[in-house]
A and B are shown apart, each in its own frame.
Chain A
Amino acid sequence: MGRYIVRRLLQFIPTVLGTLFLLHYLTTVGIQLTGNPIRALFGDKRPAPETLAALTSRLHLDDPCLKQKGNPCLGLFRERLVDIGQLDFGTNFRFRPVFDWRGFFDRAHASIITDALPYTIKITIIAFTIEALVGVFIGMRAGMKPGKSLDYSVKISTVMVISVPVFVLGILIQQFITRDFGNFLRGQEWIPEVISRGVFGSAYKQEFPFASLIIPGIVLGMLSLATTARLTRTSVHENMRADYVRTAKAKGLTHKRVIGVHTLRNSLIPVATNLGLSIGGYMTGAIITETIFNVPGVGNQTARAIFQGEPAVLIGITTMLVLVYLVANLLVDLLYAVLDPRIRYE
């Protein structure tokens, strides 16, 4: 097992390199296709060519290969890798450093990622907790009595969540929950501010660093929550007929325990995969939810970088995400072995 982990960790290297290359290639092709992203900084006004050239060269976007469609710009990639190897992730178009690890400890070295990461970690934790707990719980309840009203109401409500695009959902929640209901709460004297302004605030607030992330976290977790719930339901439903469940019943265990321990544990294997995946999926979601709820996290920065076409930011953020994702995945794979002892890794 130890060797398995070491081997997986070693595999991180090609994966990270692969992802970096993929990303490098995508951003390069992006620039090759859409032209110099700096141009867009000036909006409808056409900048002086000299200014444009100066900015372009300062941001290393003046490499001629960026003008040749389809050229993978391997030279640039190599330079980039060397820089990254020295923990230099470059700057954004406004010359803010993308990543400086000292920024975690010292404001003087603040960087885009170190500023944004704490928010995203918090929101992810909230989303994950909600997804895992609520998703598994309602999935389990629905799976216990398939075809009953609870099953259908879970089904219908998850379908609503799934089929309505996230940004629509986020906007609706913002309108009806944080604005209308929130305003009602804020009208009540007796409700503590942390609830009325924090939890039910329309946007992230410094004063309530955790409370005001709860609703964005819920929105973030919602999409994969639906999947988790459905997956759990199916899985529980399938395992309900297993012989060992019958044994558990014969042991005189309560229905709750029969389902909650004996059935659930076996049902969690596909669910665990999904949970692991959703950590990666949160990033896509965070781009939207963080923007809607004004959380200054990684998603927000990614969105900005995507639309401004800032390769350095994208690569910096994604390198970090890839690592997070890979670790999460490795944990899921190891979790398999915990959940299902029959699986062995050698």
Chain B
Amino acid sequence: MSDPVTTATSDNPAVIPVQAGPGVNPQGPTQERAASLWSDARRELIRNPIFLASVSFILIVSSMAILPSMWTSKNPRDCDIKFAKLSPSAEHWFGTNVLGCDYYSHAIYGARPSLSIALIATTGVTLIGVVLGMLAGFFGGWVDTLISRIIDMIYSLPFLLGALVILGVLRQSDLLHSDQWWPPVLVVAIVLIILGWVGVARIMRGSVLSAKNLDYVLAAKSLGASNSRLMFRHILPNAIAPVVVVATISLGGYIGAEATLTFLGAGLQPPAVSWGTMIAGNIDYFNEYKYLVLIPCGLLVPTVLSFILAGDALRDALDPKLR
């Protein structure tokens, strides 16, 4: 039976010279070993035009947020009521607002608070929500009961009430009146996080519940995998998809929520500008001066869209079945 008509390749498969195929690094295994869900996803992403477009847009907008002076030489606080509500012109690209401030510089300077609040809040909400939702779903029992009840409690509070009171408390520290730009942003973001993580946590808990008894989780368990490994290597990647969706969606919501809070006087303090406040503060003038609302919307919507599209692309890239 075993009269091996040996060819170079048959005996020890490990030494078969690996022919490089498309997408496989000819350098061989060292490089190849790098492949993991994340590195594959990265490779996938940099070839996805929609992802690239979204990310470019996000980068553009981020550069506005980080270095507004690169985009405009005007000071958003140079306002002259005599030049109020001018239509867009060469002097004022986006016209002026009701106080006679250059609206273009507002649009640029408005990026920073909007984006940073949205990003900080989304990150915080996602982190806390994912971790607590995971713990609740994974361990069940009293951990679940405790976390779920806390979720219930926070969830049933009216958002506005919670936000107003928490902001009131945080305001005592006078963070909202700092000379720095970030303390008020942080304060608003913290409020959004405190009240927002529960949604993500519930979604996460639901996904974990259905993922935790799958065979591959059991398999890892029987290998002696620690709970954290089960949760973060096995369950998390397979349960995160709905969270990504909710997180990217709420990112848009947070920009709006900041506007609502500011509108109620609880958020940023004017004359600080954000896109949300630009929309909220000018909605009354919409009939006559449409550009006052359309311009910030025109920045906000594509930004949120970019985040959502990028999130989608990320999620797809993390699903090997789609490859």
* A residues lining the B interface (CB < 8 Å): 11, 14-15, 18-19, 22-23, 26-27, 29-30, 33-34, 155-156, 158-160, 162-168, 171-172, 175, 223, 226-227, 230-231, 234-235, 238, 241, 269-270, 272-274, 277, 280-281, 283-284, 287-288, 302-303, 306, 314, 318, 321-322, 325-326, 329, 336, 340, 342-343
Q: Are B199 and A343 in contact (CB under 8 A)?
A: no
> Does B249 reach chain A (CB closer than 8 Å)?
yes
> Does B149 reach chain A (CB closer than 8 Å)?
yes
Interface residues on B, range: 35 or more
User: Which 5 A/B pairs are nearest by Cβ-Cβ distance?
Assistant: A165-B256, A163-B252, A163-B304, A284-B159, A322-B156
A-side interface mostly: helix
Q: Which residues of chain A are near B259, meaning CB under 8 Å?
A: 165, 168
Q: Are A342 and B276 in contact (CB under 8 A)?
A: no
Given contacts A33-B172, A231-B246, contact A163 B300 (CB under 8 A): yes
> Does B206 reach chain A (CB closer than 8 Å)?
yes
**17 pairs, A vs B, C-beta closer than 8 Å:** A162-B253, A163-B253, A163-B303, A164-B279, A164-B300, A172-B283, A226-B249, A230-B245, A270-B207, A274-B203, A284-B159, A302-B161, A306-B164, A318-B157, A318-B158, A322-B153, A336-B209
Q: Are A227 and B165 in contact (CB under 8 A)?
A: no
> Does B33 reach chain A (CB closer than 8 Å)?
no
Which residues of B197-217 are within 8 A (CB) of A?
199, 202-203, 206-207, 209-210, 213
In whole angstroms, what is the CA distance A322 to B154 when docked? 10
Q: Are A19 and B164 in contact (CB under 8 A)?
A: no
Which residues of B123-167 are within 8 A (CB) of A?
145, 149-150, 152-162, 164-166
Q: Which residues of chain A are near B169, meaning CB under 8 Å?
A: 29, 33
B237-252 Cβ-contact flags toward A at 8 Å (1 or 0): 0000110011001001
* B residues lining the A interface (CB < 8 Å): 145, 149-150, 152-162, 164-166, 168-169, 171-172, 199, 202-203, 206-207, 209-210, 213, 241-242, 245-246, 249, 252-253, 255-257, 259-260, 263, 276, 279-280, 283, 286-287, 293, 297, 300-301, 303-305, 308-309, 312, 315, 319, 321
Chain A residue with minimal CB distance to B206?
A: A273
Chain B nearest CB, measured from A211 CB (Å): 27
Q: Are A343 and B209 in contact (CB under 8 A)?
A: yes
Chain A residue with minimal CB distance to B205?
A: A273
Q: Which residues of chain B are near A26, meaning CB under 8 Å?
A: 157, 161-162, 165-166
For A30, give its contact among B165, B213, B256, B319 (CB under 8 Å). Answer: B165
Q: Are A269 and B297 in contact (CB under 8 A)?
A: no
Q: Which residues of chain B are near A283, meaning CB under 8 Å?
A: 156, 158
In whole angstroms, what is the CA distance A162 to B199 when docked? 16
Q: Are A340 and B153 in contact (CB under 8 A)?
A: no
Given contacts A156-B305, A231-B242, A238-B241, contact A284 B158 (CB under 8 A): yes
Chain B nearest CB, measured from A5 CB (Å): 14
Chain A nearest CB, measured from B172 CB (Å): 7
Chain B nearest CB, measured from A185 CB (Å): 20
Q: Are B304 and A159 in contact (CB under 8 A)?
A: yes
Chain A nearest CB, measured from B204 CB (Å): 9
In whole angstroms, what is the CA distance A272 to B203 when docked? 10
Chain B nearest CB, measured from A258 CB (Å): 18
Q: Are B280 and A168 in contact (CB under 8 A)?
A: yes
In whole angstroms, what is the CA distance A7 to B27 when docked? 61
Taking A163-B300, A164-B300, A165-B279 as known contacts, 15 extra A-B pairs with beta carbons closer than 8 A to each other, sorted by chain A number, are A11-B145, A19-B157, A34-B168, A158-B249, A165-B259, A166-B256, A234-B245, A234-B315, A235-B241, A269-B206, A287-B160, A302-B158, A321-B156, A322-B156, A342-B210
In whole angstroms, what is the CA distance A11 to B255 when docked? 35
In whole angstroms, what is the CA distance A263 to B147 when docked? 31
Chain B nearest CB, measured from A275 CB (Å): 11
Q: Are B152 and A162 in contact (CB under 8 A)?
A: no
Chain A residue with minimal CB distance to B155?
A: A280
Q: Which residues of chain B are near A166, meaning CB under 8 Å?
A: 256, 260
In whole angstroms, what is the CA distance A14 to B112 when docked? 42
Q: Which residues of chain B are near A281, meaning CB under 8 Å?
A: 199
Given contacts A30-B164, A156-B305, contact A326 B152 (CB under 8 A): yes
Q: Which residues of chain B are near A172, meaning CB under 8 Å?
A: 283, 286
Q: Which residues of chain A are near B256, meaning CB under 8 Å?
A: 162-166, 168
Q: Which residues of chain B are near A342, meaning CB under 8 Å?
A: 210, 213
Q: Are B300 and A162 in contact (CB under 8 A)?
A: no
Q: Are B308 and A155 in contact (CB under 8 A)?
A: yes
For B160, give its contact among A27, A270, A303 (CB under 8 Å). Answer: A303
Q: Are B158 and A306 in contact (CB under 8 A)?
A: yes
